[in-house]
Structure 1
Amino acid sequence: MRSDDRAVTGDRNYSEETTDMALTPTGPGLDREVCSRWRLTPGRVLGDRATGTWEATRDGAAFVVKYFDSARFPDWRYTLRVAAALRAQGWPTPEPVEEPLIGPGGAWVLFHRLPGRSVRPADGDKPAEERSRGRLLAEFHRAATATGIVDQRGGFSGPAELVADPGLDHWLRIHELARPDEGRILRACRDAALEWFTDNVIVDAPRSVIHGDFTPWNLLYDDGRLTGVVDFEATHYTFQVADFALSWRGYHDNVLRGYDEVRPLSDLEWQLVRPVFWAWLFIGVKDLLAAHYGCTDPVGPIPKLEWQIVHVRKHSDLLSEKAGAPRLPVHE
């Protein structure tokens, strides 16, 4: 879990990388020199970022180009290693085609384009999709454990360390002066997570590398068959239930039900889901607030942490049954 950012494969030897480049994204288009080096015809931007991931073609074949900004995505080689280890077990993950191109600010990586499309279920089909995705996530974690990867990704930390950061507490208190209602809820959330981890210093719950964004748009299917698990930008080593942060999102209970059908969660893990989820909501918050309030003459409007507030207020009947109702002033 990164403290300074909101969060593909390769079994090649990456020791012979190009390091004499000054390539950085300059806009929504794919860098011309990157296209020239790899003989690519650029396509559209993929995902919701202005820069970062593009489609491209070469000799009629489809590819995906990703730019890993060193500041936003530290230790990007870790993402390649995790996905490669999963691919070795049969999981369909994008495979690098060329050696990465390294610039002063980050790295460009060219991947084969995987077949299939993400599934966006209609409202009536969402419960079944969520349950199926929860079951798939449990299988994914089984494979993640089998990779044997237990080292932490550079730039990432555990949820307990994130909420214990005194810098986060400081800037939340400053923010509460500017936005009292929002700040009060967020501080209560942070304090509750910190209290849980303080009372449970040693948490004996399953850990492994996690995907970090196991959502419908990162799973590709072709005629009902899984053909791609993409976007490992948030992968790191932590509690397996941390993967619920963006797959469950505080209220998609069928994800939890499906997972529990394949790998039953222990009582401790049910208790752990909520504090880990709360910690996830603070990824990037300290730096966001510090960038505004830490300036002598702040520029722009006061940050609004609406995404965090919305998700703190999400209610889960299943988790309330398994772990008790949250004790936060979220409905006042």
Structure 2
Amino acid sequence: MTAYVKPMVDTAGIVSAISHHLGEGATGIAPVSGGNLSSVFAFSLNGAAYIIKFSDMEHAYETEGYVSRLLRQQGIPFPRCMGQGKAGLLAYSILERIPGRNLVDCTAEEQSLQLPELIRMLTAMNHMDVGATGGFGWIQPDGNGAFPAWRDYVVSFFADEQTGFWEGWREIPGLEQDVVDECYQRLLAYSVYNEPHRHFIHGDVSPWNILSDGRRITGIIDGNFAYGDFIVDVATLKIMMGETDVVKAYQECSEKLGIDIPDFQKRMIGAYYFKGLDGLRFFAKMGRDRDYRYMRQFLLSLTS
């Protein structure tokens, strides 16, 4: 099994998708770096800046329009979705382009100074009122979760038999099955602490999906949007930002807002296993050996 390669898109296909939704006249079409699974292009039209993303992943971008409206209504700086569709076998999504660069490209000092604002945004996102919807796991186009319970989502997420990107994932070269089995059993054991909690989860909140001008957070983009325990987002951000004290900042922000977080440490461990096991198989599939070894060590040392 070779490492995943993002889909190739020719200029004619890009222009056709843009014209279908926004009309003709797009200029400056150019690839944008970043994104592990999507081919992303920037362009301008009538003086405004946009991006268009293409993916061969199953169900890609199906809920992006719904999530865009939901987050923007809450004042979260998520890009406005301008159109979605299919171009042959590829799904695409057109979004307003938010100014700024990836937070990961900011200095450590700049990241630290922006952490309080980022945590406030994340807390607001996690605690939006989602009472009008039901279900856990992947958010569907109608706004409901795809599964009746969090455990059902977890079991489906790591099922041996998959289609699309994760088809045959158990056979990925270099993915140690004994490590996978051990981490999965730990995940199931600790997931009982995550199961009662249902909130909006970004699902991939990392410094690559946060935009900044160096002083302020200008936008939050992309995501694997789901309903479940918001601690998943806290764990993701902690894993991705390393030494930055994300956990302490989130706890302090929640305390100021009067938000109680029972079983915090056990929920964090459950979230670490959920995101970490997914990261482990992803790094193996992408051939990122150094990241794989780091994640392996991190997961196996969590409850030792």
Same fold (TM > 0.5): yes
Matched, 1:112 2:96: yes
Structure 2: distance between partners of 1:277 and 1:221: 26
Quote the residue 2:302 is aligned against. Answer: 326
Quote the residue 2:270 is aligned against. Answer: 275
> Structure 1 residues 140 and 69, CA, compared in 2 at 3 Å: closer, same or farther?
same
Question: What's the offset of the Cα at 1:68?
Answer: 4.2
Gaps of 5+ in 1: 1-5, 7-23, 292-301, 316-324
Name the amino acid aligned to 1:189: C
1:183-194 matches, cutoff 5 A: 183-194=177-188
TM, length-normalised to structure 2: 0.70
1:140-184 deviation line (CA, Å, top 9, x unaligned): 2123x358444443596646425774669xx89878xx869x444
Structure 1: distance between partners of 2:275 and 2:90: 25
SS for the counterpart of 1:107 is strand
1:31-90 deviation line (CA, Å, top 9, x unaligned): 34335544222122342448522101113321111224352xx26332221221111122
1:204-231 deviation line (CA, Å, top 9, x unaligned): 33x2221122223322334744432211
Greater relative CO, 1 or 2 (CA 8 Å, sep 6+): 1
Deviates more, 1:77-86 or 1:100-109: 100-109
> Structure 1 residues 58 and 202, CA, compared in 2 at 3 Å: closer, same or farther?
closer
Matched, 1:134 2:101: no
Quote the residue 1:33 is aligned against. Answer: 16
Question: What's the offset of the Cα at 1:112?
Answer: 1.8
Deviates more, 1:153-162 or 1:83-92: 153-162
Question: What's the offset of the Cα at 1:92?
Answer: 1.9
Question: What's the offset of the Cα at 1:235?
Answer: 1.0
> Structure 1 residues 247 and 183, CA, compared in 2 at 3 Å: closer, same or farther?
same
1:218-297 matches, cutoff 5 A: 218-222=209-213, 224-232=215-223, 234-249=224-239, 251-252=242-243, 254-264=245-255, 266-283=261-278
> Structure 1 residues 214 and 123, CA, compared in 2 at 3 Å: closer, same or farther?
same
Structure 2 residue corresponding to 1:91, chosen from 72, 76, 86: 76
Matched, 1:61 2:48: yes
Higher Rg:
1
Structure 2: distance between partners of 1:287 and 1:49: 10
SS for the counterpart of 1:248 is helix
> Structure 1 residues 101 and 121, CA, compared in 2 at 3 Å: closer, same or farther?
closer
1:76-121 deviation line (CA, Å, top 9, x unaligned): 3322212211111222221133x43334424333222223333333
SS for the counterpart of 2:204 is coil
RMSD: 4.1
How many residues are treated as equivalent by the alignment? 273
TM, length-normalised to structure 1: 0.65
Gaps of 5+ in 2: 163-167
**CA contact under 8 A between 1:248 and 1:256: conserved in structure 2?**
yes
Quote the residue 1:122 is aligned against. Answer: 107
SS for the counterpart of 1:220 is strand
Structure 2: distance between partners of 1:262 and 1:307: 30
